Amino acid sequence: METVLIAKNITKSFSKGINALNKVSFTLVKGKVLVIMGPSGSGKSTLIRTINGLETFDEGELNVLGIKIDSNIDERKIKKIRRRVGMVFQQFNLFPHLTILENITLAPINVQKRQQTEAEEFGMYLLSQMGIDSHAKKYPNQLSGGEQQRVAIVRALALKPELLLFDEPTSALDPERINEVLDAMRNLANQGMTMVVVTHEIDFAKEVSDKVLFLDNGKVIEISSPDIFFSNASHERSRKFLNQLDKN
């Protein structure tokens, strides 16, 4: 199977000698979903942001879609990666002065130099797939949080990415809106999209992930299948984390 992502000993320290990431290694193959879990401050967001160059690292190497990057930042390589990797953030980050369709077509037209007609047709197709094509001419503040996050997913998909990253995409949503976004992500997984997802949504992780990576204090505590991780985690720290989630 084609390997999409390889991380080797990724290490990052912030000031005062605090390790945000400590020799993190993993691989991801095409069409699979890796879920990253762990307590607050464990390094989850830092890790996922290294994949598309939003966060630098001090040691180690990443191979993203055959493009190798290390601690010596090469902006040309980062740009190549970002053309092929989409990302959905905790906050929707939509431009408030642009319509939904304009938000979606901005990057395809300006970055990928696609024709406006083609970009708009594909954007409308994606909005339809998400069930929100009727909102194309609206502005972000006219949509609910769940709808805005689905627009953010469409915006990432509009670049036709080979890998899609999600950094706690439901954490800013009201509880009743969470399932709208998770259902959209389930559909993407079912369609074979390669994904890395930072989330605390246990049911989603059980259903969609192929592997679960558990981080604590910047270290990989374990990587296992969801069947094993959620029913018989090998590490006591993992079991304690899951017990705490169950109580919340």
Q: What DSSP string describes 129-161?
A: HTT-GGGTTS-GGGS-HHHHHHHHHHHHHTT--
Phi then psi dihedrals of residue 217, to 5 deg:
50, 40
Query: In the chain, what are the domain boundaries?
Result: 3-247
SS3 at position 182: helix
How far apart are the C-alpha atoms of 223 and 233, rounded to whole Å? 10
Residue labelled with tokens 């929707």: 92
Tell me the CATH architecture of domain 3-247: 3-Layer(aba) Sandwich (3.40)
- Measure the CA–CA gap between 58 and 183, rounded to whole angstroms: 37
> Which residue numbers in the chain have pLDDT < 70?
16, 246-248
CA distances to 104, 110, 174 from 159, in Å:
9, 11, 28
* Contact by Cβ (8 Å): 181, 169: yes
Task: Say whether 82 sits in a helix, a strand or coil.
Answer: helix
pLDDT score of 248: 61
Gap between the Cα atoms of 147 and 165, Å rounded? 18
pLDDT of residue 247: 63
**The amino acid at 162:** E
In degrees, rounded to 5, the angle at the alpha carbon of residue 180 between the alpha carbons of residues 179 and 186 is 75
Count of C-beta atoms within a 10 Å radius of residue 134? 10
List, in sequence order, every residue forming a beta bridge with 85; answer none if it has no partner.
163
In the 8-state DSSP scheme, what is residue 173? S
The single-letter code of the amino acid at 55 is E
CB of 10 closer than 8 Å to CB of 36: no
The two structure tokens encoding residue 142: 């006219």
pTM here is 0.93
Q: What pLDDT score does 36 carry?
A: 96
Nearest CA-CA partner of 197 in 241, 164, 231: 164
